[in-house]
Structure 1
């Protein structure tokens, strides 16, 4: 898709057409238990193999390769947790609940914290007036102009690529675990438990495996996985032709089609990212299992011309450069573009 395409180039659906579109996605929300368990089994088998490769070889470059593979498989395993908490993967299974709640804690995404913030995100994507809980804060150009220097600094820091690069300590360890636990320890006790367990596992790996294994089996894969995961989340709602709306014009379908990108990537990265690149389909109906998202897109014409981004460095840079929403221009712009309009 041409990066110069703007929101005005996309026709809006009527409210009735939007309701019909959402209704047509519902058949794809039907789960296949055998397929679901196959996806779970192969994912965790791949994760065990990647951890072994990052831990056991005596030659450290081979362990680094294992670290990279482990980071990618961790992203996929996170998508499985994400789908389970949406009710789109093995809902109602006690075994699945035990597996995914345990894995969520190990991934520093306590289910209660994640569900509350992520559900808020789905209910408010592209709504300019909504709070930023569960997502990156997005200001309008007017808010940027009126903010104090300290407020601007906080906004810049939150959205800075360096913060995404260090999402492991900032977004996950701190943002999803330490901060919620300190604010409401009784409500979010599992967040405190996740931190304690993470520290215990880290110390155990250091003690029994040494510094080298600790770096290749924990620090590097978690750092890479969380950094890529944070960027994927950012770029899926912060891309050149994204369209944000005021409450009076906001609808669930418009948020899915206009403010959720499709990540065009090959089958290998689609596997590692659990098809989360079909983000416009996921936001339209989060009850669709990740393995049925391509099927839904292929079957519904309105979903086949999405607002697209890729992992090409050019497109990554284009997403990272966008800072605030300019209502007059109907698009995201850089800070310097806002300053030039004063």
Structure 2
């Protein structure tokens, strides 16, 4: 109860509660922004990460922008504010529509840790071919250092029913084989084209892909199957349109799946490994992920890269 009370006391009301510091990143494809700011709501200045995301339009709302809509007097036209370019039949305008139809989503991490800020600050990316030896010497200790309450409390809150109870789609509380399915915060829960679930395993024993072996096959299958069922039953999205994968290295050190509509296009790069491929590899060799080399992208400022360079490992420039 004390934790819930504290959370309410520092609940931000607007971006005016924070002081702008700088723009960390702009995602060109969507023009979404990640901003570094400072807040004082905990009693001292602490950093905040602010994510500004424009929502997708809902297809059902588009007709009311135009004349002849079946909605009649509910027409909400898009006003042309500025003509940016006109050449023959080609026009480009800055337009304005009712903000209820295209709201601004704001995601906030506050207080943000140095690791949070590093994660969202663009840097040069290096590619590491991680052997089992490199994993044992450098990567395992890094993973274990982040599998702690400070980093995972928000995950445990969901799994234990303390936070986000109203958003849970599926929950199994078994300490070894249980898991919880929730909509990912990167999805607005309205546009099925951009469906995105996170499936959180209850067990704290599986921190990353390297901890998975043949004894987990049925568990891995069930996590995927329940996510597929939930997507169809609750949102009408069939399994043929869904991808289910894990990241390696993961962003947080407790087994979890990403389940997305393939039309999102989010599954990119060597970090993304399909769950079906993981299961196939384990069926061929139960110790596949203890024996294999894995390719991982790392920031040039990453702790693992720094530790390897300190030992004389050379990354080709």
Check whether TM > 0.5: no
**Which protein has greater RCO, CA pairs closer than 8 Å, 6+ apart?**
1
Considering fraction of residues, name the structure with more strand.
2
Q: Compute the TM-score of the two structures, normalised by the length of structure 1.
A: 0.25
Considering fraction of residues, name the structure with more helix.
1
Compare CA radii of gyration and give the structure with the larger one: 2
